[in-house]
Amino acid sequence: EAEVAQSPRYKITEKSQAVAFWCDPISGHATLYWYRQILGQGPELLVQFQDESVVDDSQLPKDRFSAERLKGVDSTLKIQPAELGDSAMYLCASSLRGTSSNNEQFFGPGTRLTVL
């Protein structure tokens, strides 16, 4: 069964360091999402890609966060410099192209980031 892959699964870093997370969506999925889930909260969308283009990054803290999907396949989310408040689970999801009501988002296992 096709799955969304994410790495690393766990990351511990010190504040002010740079971190990067990688996501490989399900093959053929044109839309890719990065969500942040703070402990005890629901996921919140950081950025949405349609192919290689950003559709929505209104909640992405652009002073320290960046995301790219250069070839419209896999994606990288970067934080530089990391702050204590960035400790969270970072979830990647993907879905097929289009406005179909069956456009389900499939989630990866997430990367748990701890900033010390």
Partner 1 sequence: AQSVTQLGSHVSVSEGALVLLRCNYSSSVPPYLFWYVQYPNQGLQLLLKYTTGATLVKGINGFEAEFKKSETSFHLTKPSAHMSDAAEYFCAVRRSGGSNYKLTFGKGTLLTVNP
Minimum Å gap between C-beta 110 and partner 1 is 5
Q: Specify burial of residue 23 (Cβ count, 10 A radius: 0-12, 13-18, 19+).
A: buried
Dihedral of alpha carbons 99, 73, 22, 63, sign: negative
Q: In terms of CB distance, is 18 or 51 closer to partner 1?
A: 51
Span near partner 1 by CB under 8 A; candidates 18-26, 61-69, 76-84, 88-96: 88-96
| Interacting residues with partner 1 between 20 and 79 (CB under 8 A) | 31, 33, 40-45, 48, 50, 55-56
Which residue do the tokens 């740079």 mark?
Answer: 18
Six-digit token string for 9: 């699964």
Strands 88-95 and 31-37: antiparallel
In this chain, which of 1, 27, 70, 102 binds partner 1, going by CB under 8 A?
102
> Which residues contact partner 1 (rule: CB under 8 A)?
4, 31, 33, 40-45, 48, 50, 55-56, 91, 93, 95, 99, 101-105, 107-110, 112
